[in-house]
Amino acid sequence: MARLCFPLLVVQLLLLIAGVAGGPWQEFLRPQSDVDNDVIGTRWAVLIAGSKGFENYRHQADVCHAYQILKKGGLKDENIVVFMYDDIANNSANPRPGVIINHPNGSDVYAGVPKDYTGEDVNVKNFLAVLLGDKSALTGGTGKVINSSQDDHIFVYYTDHGGPGVLGMPTLSESLYANDLVETLVKKHLAGTYKSLVFYLEACESGSIFEGLLPANISVYATTASNANESSWATYCPGGREGEAPPPEFMTCLGDLYSVSWMEDSDVHNLRNESFELQYDNVKNRTLSWSHVMQYGDLGLNAQTLDIFMGSSDPANHSATVGSTDNSLGQLSSAVHQRDADLLYFWHKYRRSSDGMSEEARKELLEVMAHRSRVDKGIERIGGILFGTEAGPQFLTAVRPTGWPLVDDWDCLKSMVRAFEEQCGLLGQYGMKHTRAFANMCNAGVGPIAMPNLASKACAASTPSAF
C-alpha cells in the first residue's frame, strides 16, 4: 500500500512547493488537450457542387469524395454541410445506379453523404447563410449551418463552372460574385466566429475570385485551380490515356484535375504530417501542364497541417476506400477544358445512341453548340459597336495587372450581366467566360444604362435560353 501511495504523495508535495494555483507543475500535469495541438473546439466544413446535369457528373463526384476524406478524418456529419443538386447517382444516364465514382478504379463515394441542401436549395443565399451561421436567412434544406466559435477551424470546398469574378449555381439565372463571397468572409471574421478558415476552389478563372479582394489579415487561406485568366480542367474523361479514362460505360468526366489532385494527395498521405504548403506544391506540380494553381490571403496559414481542418486517418485504408491505390500521384497526361466537358459528354451520348434516340441526342448537341455561338456573337457585336470591330475583341478580353480586382464597381458588373441576359438569354455555364468583357466595359465607364440598347442591337435575331 505504501508503494502505491508514494507517487501521489510526491506529486502533492511538489504541487505545494510550486503553488497549486498557476504553478508550473499544474500545467505539466494537466491532461493534454486540443489546445496543445492547435485544434481547439470544432472542425467544420462546407462542401458545395454548384452545377447539375449528368454532363457535370464530376462536380458532385468531387464533393462526395471530399466528404469521404473528412468523414474518415473524424469529422462528424453534424459539422459537415453538403450542397449538391443530387441528380447524378440515380440519374437514368448513370451506368452504375446509386453509385458515384471519382476515379477510373475508384469505389463508391456517394454512400453516406448527407443531403443537407439539394435541388433548388443549392443557391447563393443559402450558401452564404450557412457560412455565416445565419439560420434565419435559409430557405429549405436541413437548416444545418456553420455554428462555429472563435476557436474553430473551417474548411470550405467549392467546385463548379466559373468565370472572371463569378461562380456558378445549379439555377443558371443566379451566380455567386466574388465581392459577395469575400464580403461574407470578412463579415464572419468580424463576428469572431472562427480561428482560421481554408478555402479550396475549383472553377475556371478561379483566381479572379480572390485576386485583389481577399485580405491577408482575416485568417483565411485560399487556393484555386487556376489563375485569374485561365481555365481549370476536367480529368478522367472519355478518350483519355490508358489508366486515366473512365470505365467504358461512362460518357462523362469523373473528376476535375485540381480537385482530384488535392483529394488523392490527401488519400495517400498522413494528414498529421503534411502542411497546406506541401499539398499546394504537390497539387501545383501535378497540374502544371494545364493550369496555374494559386494561393491567396493569409499565406502564413499554409504552414498548418491538414489534419487541423480535415482530421486524419490511416492513409492506406482511406486510399483503398475512395481513390486510386497508386501512391506515386504523377502528372496526369490527359485533361479536358472545363467548358468543353459538356460537349464531350453530349458528343459521346450522340455517338453511342441507338437509332431511336440518336435524333434526340443530336438535337441536344446542336443546341449546346448553338447557344455558345449566340453568346459569343452577341458579345462580339457589342464590342464592335463600342470600340470597333478590330479593337473590340482586344479590349473586352484585356486582363488587369496582377493584384487588381476584376472590376471597380461590382454593382455595375451585375447590372450589365442582367441587362444582357434580358435581351439575349442567360449566359449559362459557358457564357460566364464573358464576365470579363462586361467588367472591362464598366471599368471604361460604360454604364449599365447603355446595355439594354446595346444587347438589343447585338441579339436582335433571337432571345435564346441557356443550356
Specify the amino acid at residue 397: T
The residues with which 83 forms a beta bridge, in sequence order, are: 48, 117
Give the chain's radius of gyration (CA, Å): 25
The Cβ of residue 192 has, within 10 Å, a number of other Cβ atoms equal to: 10
* Helix or strand holding residue 4 (H, E): helix 2-18
Burial of residue 278, with CB atoms counted within 10 A of its CB: 0-12 exposed, 13-18 middle, 19 or more buried: middle
Question: In terms of Cα–Cα distance, which of 264, 261, 319, 259 is closest to 59?
Answer: 259
Q: Cα–Cα distance between 104 and 244 in angstroms, integer?
A: 7
Residue of 59, 65, 204, 269 with catalytic role:
204
Distance (Å, whole) CA 428 – CA 95: 27
Respond yes or no: is residue 269 known to be catalytic. no
Active-site choice (161, 269, 318, 348): 161
Cα-based angle 44, 49, 54 (whole degrees, multiple of 5): 150
Return d(Cα 325, Cα 327) in angstroms, integer: 6
CA distances from 112 to 69, 104, 322, 323 (A): 12, 20, 13, 16
Helices first, then strands: H and E counts in the chain = 16, 12
233-235 and 336-337 as β-strands: parallel, antiparallel, unpaired?
Answer: antiparallel
Helix (H) or strand (E) holding 356: helix 355-387
First to last CA, the chain: 81
Q: How far apart are CA 245 and CA 75, in angstroms?
A: 32
In the sheet that 294-297 helps form, which strands lie side by side, from edge to edge?
Answer: 80-83, 43-49, 153-159, 196-202, 220-224, 294-297
Distance CA 368, CA 327 (A): 38
Q: How far apart are CA 287 and CA 445, in angstroms?
A: 38
Which residues share a beta bridge with 153? 43, 196
The residues near 348 (Cβ < 8 Å, ≥ 6 apart) are 238, 251, 252
Is 103 designated active site? no
User: Catalytic residues, which ones?
Assistant: 161, 204
